[in-house]
């Protein structure tokens, strides 16, 4: 079970996720974003699914040398599931609850369903 949840989540669903999805990783399914609570196929889910938290705040890795301030938008790259502060062709994942400097870092991110 994912252990990087900071503030309790209340909504979760079993959703089809990308191959290699593991508990604690950010995911995107269509327009839904969240954090996997189980590995793909684990926790009683179908082999193609994982239980995904659709809200809450999580400590998650955010890439790139682009800085982000508290309250800044965090995006998810749909093709890879990687989080970034760069908007170009990416989907809103949530909001930074901590600042990130010019290096990849793990920061607290609040999930936002747009």
**Within this chain, do residues 92 and 47 fall inside the same structural domain, yes or no?**
no
Query: 29 with 74, same domain?
Result: no
Residues 63 and 104 in one domain: yes
* Domain shared by 39 and 28, yes or no: yes
Instruction: Report the distance separating Cα 61 and Cα 105, nearest Å.
Output: 6
Q: Which of 29, 49, 32, 14 is nearest to 113 (CA)?
A: 32
Give yes or no: residues 94 and 105 share one domain.
Answer: yes
**Parent domain of 96:** 58-111
Q: Is the pLDDT of residue 1 over 80?
A: no
Residues 77-96: tens digit of each pLDDT: 999 999 999 998 899 999 99
For the stretch 28-70, pLDDT in tens is 999 999 999 999 999 999 999 999 999 999 999 999 989 999 9
Task: Please state the domain count of the chain.
Answer: 2
Q: Are residues 72 and 91 in the same domain?
A: yes
Half-sphere exposure of 82 (CA within 13 A, CB side): 11
Q: Are 13 and 24 part of one and the same domain?
A: yes
36 and 71 part of one domain? no
């Amino acid at each position: 079970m994912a252990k990087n949840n900071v503030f309790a989540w209340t909504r979760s669903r079993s959703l089809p996720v990308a191959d290699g999805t593991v508990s604690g990783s950010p995911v995107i399914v269509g327009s839904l974003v969240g954090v996997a609570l189980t590995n793909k196929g684990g926790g009683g889910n179908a082999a193609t699914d994982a239980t995904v938290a659709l809200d809450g705040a999580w400590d998650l890795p955010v890439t790139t040398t682009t800085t982000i301030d508290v309250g800044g938008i965090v995006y998810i790259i749909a093709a890879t599931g990687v989080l970034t502060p760069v908007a170009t062709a990416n989907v809103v994942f949530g909001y930074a609850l901590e600042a990130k400097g010019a290096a990849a870092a793990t920061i607290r991110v609040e999930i936002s369903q747009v």
